[in-house]
Amino acid sequence: MQKKSKYNVAIAGATGAVGQEFLRVLEKRNFPIAELRLLASSRSTGKKMKFKGKEYPVTELKADSFKGIDIALFSAGGSRSKEFAPAAVKAGAVVVDNSSAFRMDPTVPLVVPEINPEDIKKHKGIIANPNCTTIIAGMAVWPIHKIAKVKRMVVATYQAVSGAGAKAMEELETQTKDVLSGKPVKKNVFKHQIAFNLFSHDSLVGPEGYSEEEIKVVRETRKIFHDDAILVSPTAVRVPVFRAHAEAIHLELERDISVAEAKKALQEMPGVKIVDQPEKNHFPMPIEVSGHDEVFVGRIRKDLGINNGLNLFVCGDQILKGAALNAVQIAEKLI
């Protein structure tokens, strides 16, 4: 990408949860923007959104929306990305896509900037943002992997409802009120009651018995780490939490490392914060990580069941580091 003092930026899916977070992150990090173009479906045309105290109109996302754009941040869903990202590239923009549309395309880099920033320069117009669960796990596992290669990773995720959108958050709130007031619970977004309950992640379960969300963790981790030998066994669960995903991660390593070695590696990892106070029983929690850029890591302990085993408990804001922040960090590396 040609070096400039400021860049023309488009946000596709600007009115969605991640689109709105894009704006907050770009402003907070003072990204050098010359022109800002907000794009969404025809339903949102005419809306106005604020950025740095100025109002910007939302216009309809079309194939010809990207003339003069340098960087296009996409969070409009996979089908929209497949339809419009090639048009953005043709117009001269570099696309950072938050959907699953291009993640496993061998010609498209899949990037977490703290892990594999060198892959960014291999792009051919599109760079993929990984799944939020993969990013949060990767931030904690990568520094361990660098000092003692991971042979196997068993991960159970506890995923907030905001991962399913604003209507899912409304459903949790409404159902909670209804249960507490003795009213019947209505289910619209999820098949099962989410208030005071949890269930296997609501993505499609394939013939091998794993959900789409779980398979993403397997494939994306291997691609980002450039290691197809890592064995990954995930279980994804939806929990009645508004924001931020949690993950219990169990690692089998090629060599034994001490808890002190693991903590040192994690402390040196940019974007990771250790929250590990056994004496106070204080470890990472969604309520404390929400709104924070860092991934919190705690419960750092040896596995009692296997040799060379290490266990972690991890929390990350899936709308920030799991989506918008990671994409903006990719854009920062681009320029």
Q: What is the pLDDT of residue 229?
A: 95
The predicted model gives 196-206 an average pLDDT of 94
How far apart (Å, rounded) are the C-alpha atoms in residues 153 and 249? 7
Structure tokens at 148: 């003692």
The predicted model gives 270-293 an average pLDDT of 97
The yes-or-no answer on residue 132 being catalytic is yes
Catalytic-labelled residue, pool 123, 201, 245, 315: 245
Structure tokens at 226: 């450039």
pLDDT averaged over every residue in the chain = 96
pLDDT in tens, 73-94: 999 888 999 999 999 999 999 9
Q: What is the pLDDT of residue 166?
A: 81
The yes-or-no answer on residue 245 being catalytic is yes
- What would the 3-class secondary structure string for the chain be? CCCCCCEEEEEECCCCHHHHHHHHHHHHCCCCEEEEEEEECHHHCCCEEEECCEEEEEEECCCCCCCCCCEEEECCCHHHHHHHHHHHHHCCCEEEECCCCCCCCCCCCECCCCCCHHHHHHCCCEEECCCHHHHHHHHHHHHHHHHCCEEEEEEEEEECHHHHCHHHHHHHHHHHHHHHCCCCCCCCCCCCCCCCCCEECCCCECCCCCEHHHHHHHHHHHHHHCCCCCEEEEEEEECCCCCCEEEEEEEEECCCCCHHHHHHHHHCCCCEEECCEHHHCECCCHHHHCCCCCEEEEEEEECCCCCCEEEEEEEECCCHHHHHHHHHHHHHHHC
Confidence of residue 124 (pLDDT cuts 50, 70, 90): very high
Catalytic-labelled residue, pool 132, 145, 201, 315: 132
- Domains of the chain in start order, with CATH, are 7-129+323-334 (3.40.50.720), 134-319 (3.30.360.10)
pLDDT in tens, 141-183: 999 999 999 999 999 999 999 988 888 999 999 999 999 999 9
pLDDT in tens, 5-36: 999 999 999 998 899 999 999 999 999 999 99
